[in-house]
Chains A and B, each alone.
Chain A
């Protein structure tokens, strides 16, 4: 290698360094295809699922709640005011009502609902409107709801609420039954909101696999740990909206949905609804739809 070649190597090396420096500085950078508009996804909790997951613990309560419901129209005014303060007006109620009274009157019953509502207050700051709606509901139970409770509860669940509490106190743990009652549709909707909000960034990154794929709704079972991480891989529990056109994308859509939930994994959800009598977000089933 003579001097001419040495200088040629130096020149060539310098040229390469300059070229790669320019490329590194974004001289010829392609526009980022990811920065396209992001469409919202549709994540909603399956209504039937809340019932389904509540089934194990709620086997007894539903059966018994029928009884006070039937008795309620006649008894409605007295229990609303007297429910906690004095059990006397309930004496004309059916046979089961006294059983509820006896366990209702002791003091330890009242503190129980309170912590739940306090927690919901704190959770209101973290998660949104749904918990706040829930506090509307829980405050009546806490603070001897008076007349306001009646318009709020069209289904008479208020009466069944305390009534069930008394019943189940005999058999099971005390705190499970009131909470199981409280994880109502509004809370479920709030959880769904929170999950949707947190899975949205990951869903935005997903590209649509093909025409018609966004019509497919995948039902996913998500199991979570208390810290919000996934306890197991999401499982597919069926799909709807699959037709002849988009059938070949069905599997792919399910995979994308699972990967979205895995990718955004630790979820920040209100801790008090983690495991409420077999309900809560410990084990939920979600409907997932691609954006678009």
Chain B
């Protein structure tokens, strides 16, 4: 007499839940799944990219402090391969352009040097922070999208309940489970996105501060050179 339902792994697996769902819920689930994949791709990309940037800045600053002659160092490392090197070469290039003609306008040169290097830093940060907005969007929107899928699925299963004139758990449960799966995927995509967004925002702020400090230091050096040299 015991006809216990086989509703364990067979019917509650993600694949089965997806296949049973309404097409709207299916669409939501697919979209959230792609959002999740995209999020994790961005997380992995940032993991390697930010680590590399930090290491390159460390190395460049070390070599910069060790260097005696800025021109010689520019010839050696002014290729613009790393973020700090690009800021450095932007400063050196502006210095050369401004000091080409005599007499040198010191105030104007200082101002231009500051502007150019500030722009270089901002450019680097913009490139680094590219796609970070996607993490923010997924983190804030994915739960709502999942909730939409859930609400839609539950509405649909309530309609089915009304149609079958039955309120037993066996009738209600599959539809609810299938609907809640949409929210689960939404949270599954959103939680890592929010965590990664906060973490990477913090690290990019740190990188920006370091680049700015380096640019300030280099600006000070050039400014001193301007006063003494010419």
Contacts and interface: CB of A to CB of B under 8 A. Distances in A.
B167 A259 contact: yes
A63 interface: no
A38 B5 CA distance: 12
Contacts of A255: 166-167
Interface in A15-56: 15-16, 20, 23-26, 29-32, 34-35, 38, 40
A236 interface: no
Contacts of B41: 5, 8-9, 11-13
Interface in A151-208: 197, 200-201, 204-207
Interface stretch (B12-20, B82-90, B198-206, B212-220): B12-20
A24 B14 contact: yes
A255 B166 CA distance: 7
A233 interface: yes
Given A5-B45, A24-B14, A205 B1 contact: no
The secondary structure that dominates the B interface is helix
Interface in B21-48: 33, 36-45, 48
Contacts of A200: 1
Main secondary structure of the interface of A (DSSP, over half): helix
A58 interface: no
Given A5-B45, A207-B169, A12 B38 contact: yes
A4 B4 contact: no
B76 interface: no
A291 to B, nearest CB: 11
A94 B168 CA distance: 60
Nearest to B46: A8
A67 interface: no
Nearest to A29: B9
A4 B41 CA distance: 9
Nearest to A206: B168
Contacts of A259: 164-168, 171
A201 B44 contact: no
A262 B163 CA distance: 13
B227 interface: no
B168 A263 contact: yes
B176 to A, nearest CB: 14
A276 interface: no
Given A25-B13, A259-B167, A260-B168, 10 more contacts: A4-B45, A4-B49, A9-B38, A11-B40, A32-B5, A34-B4, A38-B4, A204-B4, A205-B3, A259-B168
